[in-house]
Structure 1
Amino acid sequence: MKNFLIAVAFLLGTATASLAQKADFEPEIAAFEAQPAPAANSIVFVGSSSIRVWNGLTEAFPGKTVVQRGFGGSEMNDAIKYIGRIIAHDRPKQILLYEGDNDIGQSNASARDVYARFTTFFALARKMAPSATITFISIKPSVARKQFLATQAEANRLIKTYLSGQKNASYIDVYTPMLDAGGQPRAELFQADGLHMNAQGYDLWKQIIGPALK
């Protein structure tokens, strides 16, 4: 246990020492912890607003115990900071992560930055939930952030390649189906802000993500 705690502290320190948090998500994390613990072997969705504002997520996949742990505006380092508290509470059999969108769109992170942060998240999640399947939902293309398409695609590629060499890990591609024939984000999938998805966008995600759930 002592060695485990040292390893976790090292990974957290490496990820966050030089990166100040842009928002305080403590109230949201505390609210998650205050909720009754779900059944063991739950499926936990962690991530930014694409997870937080997914209305009906917990009911979207019948027969699955789905837990919604999104906190809007978060970046990969926020997921790293709080993942221990989320996992300890929810005891998942699968962790689905949606982050990286804001790293690139808010903080102008490079694809390599996002990749490095993800591998830190993966290492922590693996230590905390050794038998859980860790799944990355690819960074989505959006109308509001179409100037970042190349960076998003490269970050997705790096993470997909990394996961292909890991056990109990998977990658879900929502990026490609959200592009039109011209390689641009499909506007019909988004709300008026061009960033957050509408019901049609989430219906598409449901179709893509459902088969990947354990």
Structure 2
Amino acid sequence: MKILLSLLLALTAWVAYAGESPHSYWEPAIAAFEAADRTNPPPPHAVLFIGSSSIEHWKSVAADFPDVQVINRGFGGSVLSDSTYFADRIIKPYHPRAIVLYAGDNDIYDGHSAQQLRDDFAAFVHKVRTFDPGVAIAFVSIKPSMARKNLLPQIRQANERVRAYAATQTNVTYIDVFTPMLGADGQPQWKWFVADGLHMNRTGYALWINLLKPWVDTHGRRVPR
């Protein structure tokens, strides 16, 4: 009887887990953002950096863009649709002046197609524009990392799909970090990365700062009245 009861409990737990949204894994991280917002409310109309671990690990982002107010809401390991799913909780309350999104790295690693990534980005833009119609959005291209060198063709294709989509939209910009991070041989370079070959070192972030700064400063500065 005890064995049967244990099996029933295990089955019940499995069914409950299977019925959860795949996004529910991030609930603790999102709840932590909300708790932090209650304790220390972030500035309204800032530049919001959002996405996966390349954003989460960017601890110096506010200091790196001193001419604008910045909020970092990266949560490592996330895919693009996670940011869309939680947009009502970690984008809408801030009414950001501009959004910098880095996502797609994990999507491609998980086997998502280039078209799916493009469609997920379009869904993100649509979602955000439902509550902030004029917000400027920058998609930072998927980086060519050493750890995911074997996925370079898929990454290149996904970037091109997003670039083409962005070109058809108003105030949506594709920012190419992919090409500048390649070596003369067209391959990823170790110099941008820490030992895991996936996450960037300060040299990598310095490159990103130079590439992003013109867009961030242009769209993030408060317009004088």
Is TM more than 0.5 here?
yes
What amino acid is aligned across from residue 29 of structure 2 in structure 1?
E
Report if aligned partners of 1:87, 1:129 keep a CA contact under 8 Å in 2. no
Q: 2:97 aligns with which of 86, 93, 101?
A: 93
Give the equivalent residue in structure 2 for 1:6.
none
Deviation at 1:37, TM superposition (A): 2.9
Report if aligned partners of 1:37, 1:90 keep a CA contact under 8 Å in 2. no
| Structure 2: runs of 5 or more not aligned | 1-18, 220-225
What amino acid is aligned across from residue 66 of structure 2 in structure 1?
P
Say which SS state the counterpart of residue 117 (structure 1) adopts.
helix
For 1:24 and 1:131, the matched residues in 2 are separated by 31
Aligned-pair Cα RMSD in Å: 1.6
Give the equivalent residue in structure 1 for 2:155.
152
Give the equivalent residue in structure 2 for 1:176.
179
Alpha-carbon spacing, 1:85–1:173, altered in 2? closer, same or farther (3 Å): same
1:108-123 correspondence to structure 2 within 5 Å = 108-123=111-126
Give the equivalent residue in structure 2 for 1:135.
138
Alignment identity in percent?
43
Give the equivalent residue in structure 2 for 1:212.
215
Give the equivalent residue in structure 2 for 1:31.
32
Report if aligned partners of 1:43, 1:94 keep a CA contact under 8 Å in 2. yes
Question: What per-residue deviation string (whole Å, max 9, x for no partner) do you get for residues 106-162 of structure 1?
Answer: x11111111111111111011121121011011101000011111111111111111
Give the equivalent residue in structure 2 for 1:69.
73
Alpha-carbon spacing, 1:19–1:177, altered in 2? closer, same or farther (3 Å): farther
Kindly indicate whether residue 59 of structure 2 is the aligned counterpart of residue 55 of structure 1: yes
Deviation at 1:205, TM superposition (A): 0.6
| Structure 1: runs of 5 or more not aligned | 1-17
TM-score (norm 1): 0.87
Deviation at 1:31, TM superposition (A): 1.7
Q: Count the aligned residue pairs.
A: 196
Q: Which runs of 4+ in 1 moved over 3 A?
A: none
For 2:152 and 2:195, the matched residues in 1 are separated by 19
For 1:23 and 1:110, the matched residues in 2 are separated by 23
Say which SS state the counterpart of residue 177 (structure 2) adopts.
coil
Report if aligned partners of 2:141, 2:177 keep a CA contact under 8 Å in 1. yes
Deviation at 1:23, TM superposition (A): 6.2
Deviation at 1:89, TM superposition (A): 2.1
